[in-house]
A = this chain, B = another copy of it.
Amino acid sequence: MAARLFAERGYHGTSIGDLAKALGVQKGSLYAHIESKQDLLYEAMREGAEAFHAALDTVPDDLPAGERIRLALRAHLRVVAEQLDVATVFVREWRYLEGDRAAEFLAERRRYEERFRAFFREGRDRGELRSDLDDQAAALLVLSAANWAYTWLPAGADTDELADRFYAILADGIRGYATPR
């Protein structure tokens, strides 16, 4: 609920009064449930972190690297489309977290991105991807597409198909067969 307004108007652009009105309640009443506005931001961030990690957990370990990347992209985009508000807070509004909570977010995100990077690194090391693959750049490219998705993904989109289209390009590239190097 709070995530929706934070995603819509930004953390600093959303007042306690706005949140209270959205809940049909006086603003003072909110403090029976929270200690501060920061709490609401923190809760939304936690929800996002759990959703993204849970989605990654559904990717089987015993598939080739390419398949795992494709499924990881599917999983990520699904979270964005199904929990757009929470995903938006996780990707964009987290930076208004203060103190330890900002550090906690950064650790959470680092862990998430590292799980992604591992797909590429392991895939190359096992010979399932190009032996000359720049795994850092490749991971960054995919993570960029994933992290930017909240800006354009419509709420009910077919994210599986979209992820597959991204992956097809990523897998084989855009160069024409007959194009000279």
Contacts and interface: CB of A to CB of B under 8 A. Distances in A.
Interface of A: 10-13, 64, 66, 69, 92, 95-96, 120, 123, 127-131, 133-134, 137-138, 140-141, 143-145, 147-149, 151-152, 162, 165-166, 168-179
B144 A174 contact: no
A165 B141 CA distance: 10
Given A10-B96, A144-B149, A130 B66 contact: no
A179 B131 CA distance: 11
Q: How many monomers of this chain does the complex have?
A: 2
A102 B79 CA distance: 28
B176 A130 contact: yes
A141 B166 contact: yes
Contacts of A127: 176, 178
A7 B21 CA distance: 30
B13 A96 contact: yes
A88 to B, nearest CB: 11
A92 B66 CA distance: 32
A152 B136 CA distance: 13
Nearest to A149: B144
Contacts of A96: 10, 13
